[in-house]
Chain A
Amino acid sequence: DADVTQTPRNRITKTGKRIMLECSQTKGHDRMYWYRQDPGLGLRLIYYSFDVKDINKGEISDGYSVSRQAQAKFSLSLESAIPNQTALYFCATSESGTGNEKLFFGSGTQLSVL
């Protein structure tokens, strides 16, 4: 079983709809992240959480919100989806510590907003 699981793997939605992407992990890591990948732009950080009560905006948080329901669960919501939110979304985790910890990524959610 995957250590970092994202659901759904693919989602097609219409402009204006609210959608939620879910992430769960069995690695026991405190830190969780949401990134989006766009061609040529690499991965950009949307939100991150260092523990259950901690939520922080990343580089591109506008139009998104998150919820850290438990240590193992971190969900990303698009309140009113728009076409330029079409992208590949990745959840990631890392240990707490010195700061050189590796990120462990899920397999991604391909989102298309029509």
Chain B
Amino acid sequence: DQQVKQNSPSLSVQEGRISILNCDYTNSMFDYFLWYKKYPAEGPTFLISISSIKDKNEDGRFTVFLNKSAKHLSLHIVPSQPGDSAVYFCAARINNAGNMLTFGGGTRLMVKP
């Protein structure tokens, strides 16, 4: 069973509006969470991360929120731009487990001009 789930395979948003991508996890041992962004024909690239000791991390237009009690994290993109159109993967890691990440299935974001 997948320990990290992204229940929305796709999301369509108008340029300038907010994009909210969601991710749920089941393993309470996860202590570090990351978002990766993937364009077609390219490998995933790191976007933003958050440690379990925080509930929010912000980097420019991107903010990740973590709700540990709900085992839920979300990525907010404000304002959304057409160049943000990509597949977004959330990933989680257990401390002291090397750097092995468990990935969600991905959400394809389409930002319409």
Interfacial residues, chain A to chain B (CB-CB below 8 A): 4, 31, 35, 39-45, 48, 50, 58, 90, 92, 94, 99-108
- Interface magnitude class on chain B: 20 to 34
Question: Given that A48-B100, A99-B98, A99-B99 are known contacts, is A40 also in contact with B9, CB under 8 Å in the complex?
Answer: yes
- Structural contact, A107 and B103, CB atoms closer than 8 A: no
- Cross-chain pair count, CB within 8 angstroms: 64
> How far does the alpha carbon of A107 sit from the alpha carbon of B41 in the complex, in Å?
6
Interfacial residues, chain B to chain A (CB-CB below 8 A): 2, 4, 6, 9, 32, 34, 36, 41-46, 49, 51, 89, 91, 93, 95-101, 103-106
- Structural contact, B98 and A48, CB atoms closer than 8 A: yes
Which residues of chain A are within 8 angstroms of B93 by Cβ–Cβ distance?
99
- Structural contact, A43 and B98, CB atoms closer than 8 A: no
Which residues of chain A are within 8 angstroms of B45 by Cβ–Cβ distance?
105
Question: Given that A42-B4, A42-B103 are known contacts, is A107 also in contact with B42, CB under 8 Å in the complex?
Answer: yes
Question: Given that A40-B105, A42-B89, A100-B32 are known contacts, is A90 also in contact with B98, CB under 8 Å in the complex?
Answer: no
Question: Given that A42-B89, A102-B34 are known contacts, is A58 also in contact with B100, CB under 8 Å in the complex?
Answer: yes
